[in-house]
């Protein structure tokens, strides 16, 4: 074999290894039912806060304990335990992304990301445009 062929084979092997490592680190959102089928495995849940269920959080006595109920898009619910401070906008969020593991009948959450409603929804409802919209001179000033 020529040296060029060996170099190409090594580059191809490295490329395949990089692609495989990326597929292992990417994740999709699981439902509560699929998380229950994978107990102890790290998953991402997309859910909503169940506002009819109580939120247990006492910032004075135990600021590193938060408990609430989450409901996914299929209607399944699960008790969530989070051992950190409560996110400020938890109650206002439209959706929450919960990263953690399902264990012993509850979801042990390691990280919470809140997805709040856009601050521009009200402006759009009033006919105002998003500040990022730029007038296109080719269309006589209308936005893109």
pLDDT at 18: 84
Beta bridge partners of 114: 96
How far apart (Å, rounded) are the C-alpha atoms in residues 98 and 21? 23
User: What are 23-61's pLDDT values in tens digits?
Assistant: 655 567 889 999 999 888 999 999 999 999 999 999 899
What's the pLDDT band for 108 if we cut at 50, 70, 90?
Answer: very high
pLDDT at 131: 47
Question: What are the E-state strand segments in the chain?
Answer: 29-30, 42-49, 56-58, 62-71, 77-82, 95-103, 106-115
Q: 122 or 54, which is more confident?
A: 54
pLDDT at 126: 59
Lookup result for tokens 């009200």: 122
Say yes or no to pLDDT of 81 above 50: yes
What's the pLDDT band for 139 if we cut at 50, 70, 90?
Answer: low
User: What are 2-12's pLDDT values in tens digits?
Assistant: 888 889 999 99
Exposed e or buried b per residue across 31-57, where buried means at least 16 C-beta atoms within 10 angstroms of its C-beta: bbebbeeeeeeebebbbbbbeeeeeeb
What's the pLDDT band for 124 if we cut at 50, 70, 90?
Answer: low
Burial class from Cβ neighbours inside 10 Å (0-12, 13-18, 19+) for residue 77 reads middle
61-75 average pLDDT score: 92
What's the pLDDT band for 121 if we cut at 50, 70, 90?
Answer: low
Work out the mean pLDDT of the chain and round it to a whole number.
Answer: 82
Question: What domains appear along the chain, each with residue ranges and CATH number?
Answer: 27-117 (2.40.50.140)
């Amino acid at each position: 074999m020529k040296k060029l062929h060996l170099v190409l084979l090594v580059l191809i092997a490295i490329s395949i290894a990089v692609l495989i490592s990326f597929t292992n680190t990417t994740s999709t959102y699981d439902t509560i039912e699929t998380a229950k089928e994978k107990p102890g495995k790290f998953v991402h849940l997309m859910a909503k806060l169940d506002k009819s269920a109580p939120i247990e959080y006492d910032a004075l006595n135990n600021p590193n304990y938060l408990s609430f109920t989450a409901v996914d898009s299929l209607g399944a619910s699960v008790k969530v335990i989070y051992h950190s401070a409560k996110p400020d906008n938890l109650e206002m969020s439209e959706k929450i992304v919960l990263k953690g593991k399902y264990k012993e009948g509850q979801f042990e959450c390691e990280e919470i990301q809140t997805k709040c409603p856009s601050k521009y929804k009200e402006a759009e409802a009033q006919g105002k445009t998003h500040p990022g919209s730029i007038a296109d001179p080719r269309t006589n000033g209308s936005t893109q």
